[in-house]
Copies of this chain bind each other. A is one copy, B any other.
Amino acid sequence: MHSEAVASRSAEHRDSRESRNGSTPHLDAVSLAIIQQLQEDGRRPYAAIGKAVGLSEAAVRQRVQKLLDQGVMQIVAVTDPLTVGFRRQAMVGINVEGDVESIADALTDMAEVEYVVMTAGSYDILAEIVCEDDDHLLDVINKRIRALPGVRSTESFVYLKLKKQTYMWGTR
């Protein structure tokens, strides 16, 4: 059981080296396994994770810290905003003329905007907005988003009910 552990470790080394070439740092199998563990339970002890992925407690700790520092993952509490007092949410589809990315950056800077993604299809950008009430939502969409230079049009989808919200990819 000792030899195979060593073998797999050296394999990981190779993977992590190769990966650092790409701009998006690829992840080796061990880091993926660690992330998977933390997707099941963000507070799982490092020792338990180490046992599951075949690493020492300290090594897991160092890897997790690095993943957090690099921004590859974040360990956070997630809720349904509706149960936490934010009464109005909406997805907004946006069409842009000119530089899409600069508009996306402007949206990113807004506190009420939780989620920004550039897309292919009949919208250039999809943005999710979390607000306290209708007035707040209206204000963000009409006064702030539509006011951005380059925004050609927007279409809103007000949330009625959140049915599913998971973070378990890789677990399947």
Contacts and interface: CB of A to CB of B under 8 A. Distances in A.
Interface in A131-172: 155-167, 169-170, 172
Contacts of A39: 76-78
A72 B76 contact: no
Contacts of A114: 164-167, 169
B84 A162 contact: no
Nearest to A78: B167
Interface residues of A, number: 64
Contacts of A21: none
B117 A84 contact: no
A169 B43 contact: no
Nearest to A35: B77
B111 A77 contact: no
Contacts of A155: 121-122
A113 B164 contact: yes
Contacts of A111: 172
Given A75-B42, A114-B169, A166-B114, A91 B108 contact: no
Contacts of A43: 42-43, 75
